[in-house]
Every structure is written in C-alpha cells, then in structure tokens.
C-alpha cells in the first residue's frame, strides 16, 4: 500500500498533456486541491511546456509509477492506451483518474475496474458532462418527479469538425468512431438520469461518409442513430456525428419527456461549452439556466476531493461498465 493520502494540495502525476490533459491540469491547480508534481509525455516539449517550475518532467508511465511520493495518477493519452496504462498504475498502487473511454470495449473497461477493486483504489473517469450546472439542476428536478414519469429521451451530439488526430479513425486504436467519442457522453447522461435502469435492447444504424457500415468492419462511423430501450418503458433516441453540415460548430442537446412536462438541455449558439436548461410545458417554456458555467475540470476536481478524504475503491465507478456494455451493443447490433 502507498503512503497515506496527503491534503492541501495532492501531489499528482499527469500522463499525457495534450490539450485535454493541460486543460484538466489547469482546472485542478486553480482549485487548489491538487498539483502536478510530475508530468510525463512522449513529447518532452509538451511535458516541459505543461510542467510547473518544480514539477518532475518524465517521459513514460514507467517513470511515473517509480515516483514514491505521488498521491495519484491522471491519464490523458490516446484511447488505445487507457486500459493498459490505468491497470499498470493501479497495480503499482496508485489511485487513477482517466480520460474517457476507460477502454475500447467492455472487456477492457471491466479489467480496469477489476484492478481498482482488487487494489481497493479510487478510480475516476472523466464523464465531464455530469458536472455541468444545468445537468445538476435537471438531476434534482428528475429526482423530485418535477416532470412526472420520464418515458422518452431525445439526445444528439453533432461535431461539425471531427477529430484532428489520425488514431481516432483507426478502430484498433480508438475502439470506434463518433459513438465512442461523443455518444458515450449521451449514453452516460441518459442512463445516469434514469438511475441506471436496466437496458433491455439496443439497435443502431452506423454510417461512414454516407454509406451504411457494420460495427467491426474495420472502419469507424462518422454518423450513428441509436435506439435504446430501458426498463420501466423508457426509450432513448440518440444520434451523433463527426463532420455533419450542422451550420455551426456543434449541435448538442438532450430532452427528457415526462408525463407532466419536459426538461431540455441545449448548447447555446453552437458552442461546445455553453449550455442552457429549460422546463417545457405544452407550448410554453421556462428558462432554468443560462451560461456561463466553467464545468470542464469538475470531474477531476471531484475525484481529487474524494482522494483527499480516502483513496479507497468507490462502487459508483461500476457505472462505466454499464455504459461500455451499451456501446458494445451499438457496434454489435448495427
């Protein structure tokens, strides 16, 4: 077992400091709860640029896990590396926070969760949309049955650009296309809002440059339409895409329809970061939230806050395995 968890601030190791890694690091430092005691990246130039004045600059996970004075490791590397690196860090005795997806498929995800459980170590995944303020408000309203019984969910995430790294387009490296990149957030939110009601059925249509494809064909999808049936007669319609002619940078939203009204989460003016929340009743609506809301680093901060109290395994991480099962079914049932 590693040394007792420190407080104020935690000494953390960061593996991978591209845009997302540096963004999360800066949010954590601003919170005051954590500090990049060590930074590792295959690009030494990137590691040096991200490091603070007294950070160790390293080149690999092997060097990171050799540091005895770290309280945890934050992973923000390409998707194909997540599961192996997370297991390595956990087996070395470190709590881990990892970018999504935790693995390219449910088997990899369960392997990481199993390693965390075996080591009794805190594991977190950057399901960042859960931590938006309008999502928090919506969750509270759903728990109070403010719109009655929810029976249908419409969700979409269309990115007019698409990834700019080649590995995203190789299924061996990414695990899939827009579904595992963008749809993962929609599936996670919809299931989280439902209290992870049992998944009864998943059906999907996948496309690559306008041509219908099958999961596992060796190509990644750039458009997907998915139907998910949950217990208690709840149906989820989901669509996601890369490089769709959306007329703006992004179209992102989720509407939950209940017997007494609806809640609608929607990005504002094509933004990837600004979201509104309205409560709809008939032809009228009430605005419940408008941006700004700096939510990007809150998932990491939440993990760090838990870590400062206890580095022990948290059962709630099992949610990521359920989401991974749904993503596997999307590709299997296309």
Q: For 35-88, write each residue's pLDDT tens digit.
A: 999 999 999 999 999 999 899 999 999 999 999 899 999 999 999 999 999 999
Q: What tokens does 187 get?
A: 């599936």
- Helix and strand element counts for the chain (H, E): 11, 15
> Is there a single domain that holds both residue 174 and residue 100?
no
Residue 192 and residue 287 in one domain: yes
In this structure, the answer to whether residues 251 and 307 fall within a common structural domain is no
Give the structural domain span for 247.
133-293
Does residue 321 contact residue 199 with C-beta atoms inside 8 Å? no
Residue 197 has pLDDT above 70, yes or no: yes
CA 234 distance to own-chain centroid: 23
pLDDT at 3: 43
In this structure, are residues 27 and 60 in contact, taking their beta carbons and an 8 Å threshold?
A: no
Q: What span, in angstroms and rounded, lies between the C-alpha atoms of 19 and 6?
A: 27
Check residue 4 and give its pLDDT: 53
pLDDT in tens, 2-26: 545 556 799 999 999 999 999 999 9
**Is residue 63 included in any domain, yes or no?**
yes
Which stretches within the chain are classed as H helix? Answer: 19-31, 44-50, 61-65, 79-91, 106-119, 133-143, 171-174, 178, 184-193, 298-309, 319-332
**What is residue 103's three-state secondary structure?**
coil
Indicate if 244 and 140 belong to the same structural domain: yes
113 with 246, same domain: the answer is no
pLDDT score recorded for residue 68: 87
Q: Are 285 and 296 in contact (CB under 8 A)?
A: no
* Same domain membership, residue 200 and residue 56: no
Q: Flag whether pLDDT at 93 surpasses 90.
A: yes
**pLDDT for residue 34 is more than 50:** yes
pLDDT in tens, 205-243: 999 999 999 998 999 999 999 999 999 999 999 999 999
pLDDT higher than 50, residue 110: yes
Q: How far apart are CA 60 and CA 41, in angstroms?
A: 6
Cβ contacts of 326 within 8 Å, gap of 6 or more: 187, 191, 199, 202, 228
The verdict on 27 and 108 lying in the same domain is: yes
Classify residue 31 as exposed, middle or buried by CB count within 10 Å of its CB (0-12, 13-18, 19+): middle
């Amino acid at each position: 077992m590693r040394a007792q968890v420190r407080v104020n601030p935690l000494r953390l190791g960061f593996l991978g400091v591209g845009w997302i890694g540096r963004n999360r690091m800066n949010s954590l430092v601003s919170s005051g709860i954590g500090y990049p005691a060590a930074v590792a990246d295959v690009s030494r130039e990137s590691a040096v640029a991200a490091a603070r004045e007294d950070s160790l600059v390293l080149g690999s996970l092997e060097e990171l896990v050799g540091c005895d004075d770290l309280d945890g490791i934050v992973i923000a590397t390409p998707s194909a590396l997540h599961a192996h690196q997370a297991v390595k860090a956990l087996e070395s005795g470190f709590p881990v926070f990892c970018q999504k997806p935790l693995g390219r498929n449910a088997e990899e995800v369960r392997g990481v969760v199993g390693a965390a459980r075996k080591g009794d170590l805190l594991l977190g995944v950057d399901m960042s949309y859960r931590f938006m303020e309008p999502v928090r408000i919506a969750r509270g309203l759903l728990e109070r049955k403010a719109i009655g019984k929810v029976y249908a969910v419409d969700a979409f995430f269309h990115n007019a650009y698409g990834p700019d790294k080649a590995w995203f387009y190789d299924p061996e490296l990414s695990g899939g296309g827009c579904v595992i990149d963008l749809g993962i957030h929609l599936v996670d939110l919809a299931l989280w809002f439902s209290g992870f009601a049992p998944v009864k059925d998943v059906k999907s249509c996948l496309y690559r440059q306008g041509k219908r494809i099958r999961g596992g064909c060796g190509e990644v999808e750039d458009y997907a339409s998915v139907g998910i049936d949950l217990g208690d007669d709840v149906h989820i319609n989901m669509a996601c895409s890369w490089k769709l002619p959306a007329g703006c940078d992004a179209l992102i939203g989720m509407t939950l329809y209940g017997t007494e009204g609806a809640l609608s989460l929607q990005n504002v003016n094509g933004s990837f970061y600004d979201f509104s929340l309205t409560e709809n009743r008939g032809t009228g609506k009430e605005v419940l939230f408008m941006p700004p809301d700096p939510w990007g680093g809150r998932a990491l901060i939440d993990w760090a806050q838990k870590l400062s109290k206890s580095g022990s395994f948290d059962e709630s991480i099992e949610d990521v395995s359920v989401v991974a099962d749904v993503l596997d079914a999307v590709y299997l049932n296309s």
